[in-house]
Amino acid sequence: MGAYVVRRLGESLLILLGISLVTFALLYLVPADPERQIAGRSATAETVANIRAQLGLDQPFHIQYARYLGNLLQGDLGRSYLQRTEVSELIAARMPATLLLMLAAIVVELILGLTIGAIAALKRNSAVDQSLMVFSFVTISAPQFVVGILLLYVFAVQLGWFPIGGYGTLAHLVLPAITIGLLGTGWYSRMMRSSMIDVLAQDYVRTARAKGLGKLRIIFRHVAPNAILPIIAMIGIDIGLFMSGIVVVESVFGWPGIGQLAWQAIQRVDIPIIMGVTLVSACFIVLGNLLADLIAPLVDPRIKLK
Amino acid sequence: MTEATAEAPAAGRPRGTGAVLRDLLRRPRSAFGLIVIVLMVGAAVFAPWIMPYDPNDQMFDGLSLEGAPLPPSGQFWLGTDLLGRDLFSRLILGAQTSLIIGVLANGIAVVVGATVGITAGYFGGWIGGILMRFTDLMMAFPALLLAIVLAAIFKPSLLIVAMVIAMVNWVQMARVIYTETRSLAQREFIEVQRAMGSSTLRILGRHILPHLVYSIIVFGTLGISTTVLLEATLSYLGVGVQPPTPSWGNIIFENQTYFANAPWLVFFPGLAIVLLALAFNLLGDALRDTLDPRLKGRH
Amino acid sequence: MRKTFLTSVLALGTAVGPALAQDFTEAKQGGSMIVTYKDDVSTLDPAIGYDWQNWSMIKSLFDGLMDYEPGTTVLKKDLAEDYTISEDGTVYTFKLREGVKFHNGREMTAEDVKYSLDRVTNPETQSPGAGFFGSIEGYDAMAAGEADSLSGVTVIDPYTVEIKLSRPDATFLHVMAINFSSIVPKEVVEEFGPDFGKNPVGTGAFYLEDWTLGQSLTFARNTDYWNEGLPKLDQITFEIGLEPIVALLRLQQGQADIPGDGIPPAKFLEVTEDPAFKDFVIEGGQLHTGYITMNVNMPPFDNVKVRQAVNMAINKDRAVRIINGRAVPANQPLPPTMPGYAPDYEGYPYDPEAAKALLAEAGFPDGFETELYVYNTDPNPRIAQSFQQDLAAIGIKAEIRSLAQANVIAAGGEPDQAPMIWSGGMAWIADFPDPSNFYGPILGCDGAVQGGWNWSWYCNEELDAAADAADAMTDPAMAEEREAAWRDIYLKIMEDAPWVPVFNEQRFTMRSAKLGGPDSIFVDPVHVPVNYDFVYSTDVQ
């Protein structure tokens, strides 16, 4: 186990290294000159060239990348071209908002997904089951910007229950968390439904039911413990989906997280910020996958870590 | 024939297309999916005859005197957009955009993904190692960020948008096919073929690929849904399909500042995206059940 | 012989007169307000900040030698108590106000003026405004990195600084009023290094009390401010990350006082018709022109007739309608409130038939295919589609390239990449109210280089010479002549038609009922968007 974790961590580092290389190369190819935006419109060609040299943008690709990597290894993500601030500081300032949103979204998808899955399993093959399952398909088929805008329209503009975007209070958190959480709800409810059906068919559950135990108690006693591990594994995978969605959701709701930071940076080709956010997101995804893989053998003993 | 002896029992008995179709139509969910897809394809193919107006015509009477878009009415069934164009006509043409990109991007993703998966799974070794490490790397990329950066590098066009989406979406397919190929490659009947001196190409074509077809069909169908959603999202962010070509995503992008005053401009294209993605998801899910019970429950 | 002249000589234009009501100067101090913005505040370093949201924030934290009367484009003295200009217009001597203190309590002296100018022109500062100081003697050596101090700036005594110019520059006092020439304290800049922008210390009416990155900033009143009676408010809170539509709703609910990004189009009709709010809607002009550039080096736009035809093909009224009438159609590069604007010029009429005929004359009876580059944020792609339809009407098939801002700017700076660019979202907003500010980088030969901002690549040596001559007219008595010279330059440009000037945006903003002050300071043409120092709260009156 220990050796496995060490090896996987090593692999993860290699993956992150690869991602840094690929992203850096792609950004190198983007036809936009950051130095011109820094220099402003009144700058002479000389000034622009000067800034280019200061940023090292006149160097060949491999030197630029080596320099970036060298700094990265010392924990230095560089300084934003246009905000003139340490990227790590910018990300750190916005990370709490993103983490808060991620946690809230996980809570939403667990509550909704597990409830829907459990009800569907208990009412198996009924009209309720059918409609809940169609609903779960709808949630994975709806793009987050559509869900977000519709939630805003209904619950914020028309009903006035929640603020129209922004950050600060619990009320601000609800709609964006639901928007992200709905995507996972589809997966969780289907997983919960099938694992419930499996468990309900087990002898000991039938016995328990025969003994007259209530459905709720059965769920808590027998179903829930079995479902916890796969759920944690799934949360690990979820983080990947989540990191992909934040650019859109944070921009729809005006949520001051790293997704918004990335989107603003992309518009202005602020390479250090784009690199930073990509790497931080990739770290989350890699760790999430690692978590999922570590849990897999605990869920299903037939799977071995190797 | 040697094949008869060497052939392993396939997971699910090969069945005729007719039988599969009957099965799909019997299930309410997949029947719904099929109907939606047929309608959308119909709309896309016959768009020129269905559209009541030229979808790019910025009509003078398509805006109120203050320059506001018009709500749905007898004249404009789904209302007009902020430039005074008929929304219904734009949605119809948007179906064309979505489907072209959906099929094209997903087609590329399927071919690339399957090729990578089969190569890595069958040959293994250092080629397989490199390919799968690269796949892992792609898995860890924040997909949307990657797509946006790619879209920024190239001058956007329909083909480029499709390529960008394919570059992000082939990974899932590669992983599925890799796992299956690897387990097939180790099975006895393949060993027998090798021992009998069949060429690699023949083994791959005659013995491996047929076993992968169901997975490819199932994940290919589900992949169209992912593709449609990604295209919509890129266009919504303004880095996808270029105006004035309508895409459901860029219709929302162009009109969303008015969503409180003119919700139809977000609601109808949003509904169209959800319906199309839902249809392919339902169909893919049903295909999985019908074609290969083994795959059930995976996603 | 030296002479002093009244600043009002340079007071050119703008509808808003200097006759601001007396009541607001006597308004009591106290109270607070909340201002909202959508985009992040990147920096408050006056040498670097060049965004919509930080422009007037910096003006409230820092002072320069010169400034403008609130709500107008009339120059006035700020940290300079007085100044003299040599006969030939190349030596400016500024006498500084005594007893002006930085937020850290130290007195500001002539050394700080010199330090600030050295710093902004030092290439290592990477200031986007460095180019404005090109007329100061020793600038070239600084730009080349051969000097670490401007040879033309001399400290005479702690309250006197002399600035020598290498050529007469009629805009120099304006340059002394832009943010980039704000006075900064050396010890604080050196303490924070590149993070000075997050820890700004100036002599301004407010100081930065708190900054939560990406969320909010708080400015508090500088009780030691040299200009007694200012500022009026005790505190300003800036909330960041609010979409304009959200900002307006909050204002309507009493949770915000000024929507910094103005009234969003979708809400415009609603608030202007709402009796509860329409009195608080404020309209103002701005020194802005939205234009289409045509690359004069790329066929067929190398043919002046083609460019003129395009000028006649664009339906500007329609473009104005797309942005809900929040602009006025333009027919020349300068906006109407800019000195040098030609009110009698009629421009090219909207006449598709004549345009078609002209196009045929130019040898393109069937039109041609081209590309129109546009910044990919709303409403720009929409406006571009309207142009596309106009162009199609005379046979020009323009494909739209809707890209991120940085990509459009890069394409415009390449000699043969972007045949047409719609400037929306990246358009020129004047840095100071002087006609020269619309020429150099965007229409002059200097900008028509690889990586330049002259996206039409229009370069007319004759006009360049005329521009230099006009800017050498530093004698205030020649102000009118200079204005006429500039007017002439822009009309000549229109003959060559490298641009289609489309519209001049009007600003529409709002204030809450609790704020007071003349309307003009809420749409201040120089302290963009709002002159915070003069806003007062009716709560404490």
Residues C374-424 have pLDDT tens digits of 998 888 999 999 999 999 999 999 999 998 888 898 899 899 999 999 998
> Tens digits of per-residue pLDDT, A81-126?
888 889 999 999 999 999 999 999 999 999 999 899 889 988 888 8
Split at pLDDT 50, 70, 90, the class of C272 is confident
Q: Residue C172: its pLDDT value, please? A: 94
A137–B281: do the CB atoms touch at under 8 Å? Answer: yes
How many beta-carbon pairs under 8 angstroms link A with C? Answer: 143
Contacting residues of A for B143, CB less than 8 Å apart: 244
Q: Which tens digits make up the pLDDT trace of C327-349?
A: 999 999 999 988 899 999 999 99
CB of C441 within 8 A of CB of A47? no
Q: What number is the average pLDDT over the span B26-33?
A: 89
A71 and A102 belong to one structural domain: no
Does A40 share its domain with A113?
A: no
Asked if the structure places residue A11 within a domain, the reply is: yes
| Strand (E) or helix (H) holding C291 | strand C288-294
Using CB atoms, pick whichever of A146, A266, A277 lies closest to residue B274: A146
* pLDDT score of C245 more than 60: yes
C: neighbours with 3+ CB pairs under 8 Å?
A, B
C534 near C67, Cβ under 8 Å?
Answer: no
| Alpha carbon of A228: minimum distance to chain B alpha carbons (Å) | 18
Domain count within chain A: 2
Whether the CB of B107 is below 8 Å from some CB of chain C: the reply is: no
Answer yes or no: are the C-beta atoms of C454 and C444 closer than 8 Å.
yes
If one compares C372 and B293, the residue with the highest pLDDT of the two is C372
In chain C, the residue whose alpha carbon lies closest to the alpha carbon of A165 is C246
pLDDT of residue A303: 59
Over chain C, what is the mean pLDDT?
A: 89
User: Cβ of B9: how many Cβ atoms within 10 Å?
Assistant: 7
Q: Return the exposure string of A20-44: e unless at least 16 CB atoms fall within 10 Å of the residue's CB, then b.
A: bebbbebbeebbbbbbbbbbbbbbb
Q: Which CATH class is domain B88-295?
A: mainly alpha
Q: How confident is the model at residue B5 (pLDDT cuts 50, 70, 90)?
A: very low
Domain's final residue, options A31, A60, A85: A85
Separation in Å, CA of B160 to nearest CA in chain C = 13
Convert the pLDDT of each residue in C315-329 to its tens digit.
999 999 888 888 999
Q: In this model, does residue B222 exceed pLDDT 50? A: yes
Query: Which of A27, A54, A85 finishes a domain?
Result: A85
User: Are both A120 and A261 inside the same structural domain?
Assistant: yes
Tokens for C529, please give them.
């968007």
Question: Cα C206 vs. chain centroid, distance in angstroms?
Answer: 22
**pLDDT tens digits, A236-247:** 878 877 887 888
Residue A236: its pLDDT value, please? 82
pLDDT of res. C4: 33
Does A209 share its domain with A101? yes
Query: Are B258 and C266 an interchain contact pair (Cβ–Cβ within 8 Å)?
Result: yes
Q: Does A266 touch chain B (CB under 8 A)?
A: yes
Q: Which of C55, C213, C239, C240 to mutate to test the interface with A (most CBs of A within 10 A)?
A: C213
Chain A within 8 Å of B130 (Cβ-Cβ)? no
At residue C532, the pLDDT reads 94
Name the phi and psi angles at C326, rounded to 5: -90, 35
List A residues 38-57 in contact with B (Cβ-Cβ < 8 A): none
Per-residue tokens: B171: 């990974």
Q: What is the DSSP string of C131-177?
A: GGGTTBTTHHHHHTTS-SS-TTEEEEETTEEEEEBSS--TTHHHHTT
The 10s digit of each residue's pLDDT in B90-118 is 999 999 999 999 999 999 999 999 999 99
The Cα–Cα gap between B200 and B206 comes to: 10
> To the nearest whole number, what is the mean pLDDT of chain B?
86
CB hemisphere CA count around B101 (13 angstroms): 38
A170 plus A64 within the same structural domain: no
The whole-number pLDDT of residue C24 equals: 64
Is the domain of A108 the same as that of A224?
yes
Q: Taking the complete model, does pTM exceed 0.90, yes or no?
A: no
User: Quick one: closest CA in A to B224, which residue?
Assistant: A141
Interchain contact B242–C (C-beta under 8 A): yes
Q: What integer is the mean pLDDT of C26-47?
A: 90
- A152·B277 Cβ contact <8 A: no
Q: Three-class SS of residue B261? A: coil
Residue C156 touches chain B, beta carbons under 8 Å: no
Any domain includes A306:
no
DSSP calls for C459-472: --HHHHHHHHHHHT
- Please give the residue of chain A at the shortest CA–CA distance from B29: A134
List, in order of start, the domains of chain C with CATH numbers.
61-187 (3.90.76.10), 285-506 (3.10.105.10)
Distance from CA of B29 to the nearest CA of A (A): 8
Segment 146-175 of chain B within 8 Å of chain C by CB: 152, 155-156
User: Looking at the domain assignment, is residue A238 inside a domain?
Assistant: yes
Residues 145-204 of A with CB under 8 A from B: 145-146, 149-150, 152-153, 157, 187, 190, 194
For A246-258, the pLDDT digits (tens) are 889 998 888 989 9
- Using a CB-CB cut-off of 8 Å, the residues of chain A touching B285 are 137
**Which pair of structure tokens corresponds to residue B109?**
């993703």
Whether residue A285 lies within 8 A of chain B, CB to CB, comes out as: yes
Summarize the confidence of residues A197-223 as an average pLDDT: 72
In a domain, A144, yes or no: yes
pLDDT tens, residue by residue, C182-223? 999 999 999 999 899 999 999 999 999 999 988 899 999 999
Determine, for residues C243 and A90 on separate chains, whether the beta-carbon distance falls below 8 Å.
Answer: no
The answer on pLDDT for C141 being more than 80 is yes
Among candidates B137, B256, B278 on the partner chain, residue whose Cβ is nearest the Cβ of A141: B278
Domain with A1, as residue range(s), is 1-85
Cβ separation of B260 and C266 shorter than 8 Å? yes
Return the higher-pLDDT residue of C513 and B67.
C513
**pLDDT score, position C18:** 40
Q: How far is C538 from chain A (nearest CA, A)?
A: 27
* Cβ neighbour number for residue C429 with a 10 Å cutoff: 15
Beta strand C507-510 with C515-516 is: unpaired
Quick one: A27 and A129 in the same domain?
Answer: no
Contacts for B61 with CB less than 8 Å, ≥ 6 apart: B84
Q: In this complex, do B145 and A262 lie within 8 Å of one another by their Cβ atoms?
A: yes
More confidently predicted of C158 and B288: C158
What was the pLDDT predicted at B293?
A: 55
Could you tell me which residue, C23 or B244, shows the higher pLDDT?
B244
pLDDT band per the 50, 70, 90 thresholds, residue B7: very low
**Residue C10: pLDDT above 60?**
no
Q: What percent of chain A has pLDDT over 90?
A: 38
Closest approach of chain B CAs to the CA of A212, in angstroms? Answer: 31
Q: Specify if A166 maps to a domain.
A: yes
Answer yes or no: do A240 and A124 share one domain. Answer: yes
When pLDDT is averaged across residues C61-81 and rounded to a whole number, the result is 93
How far apart are alpha carbons A184 and A105 in whole angstroms? 9
**Interface contact flag, B137 A11, Cβ < 8 Å:** no
Final residue of a domain: which of A85, A112, A146?
A85
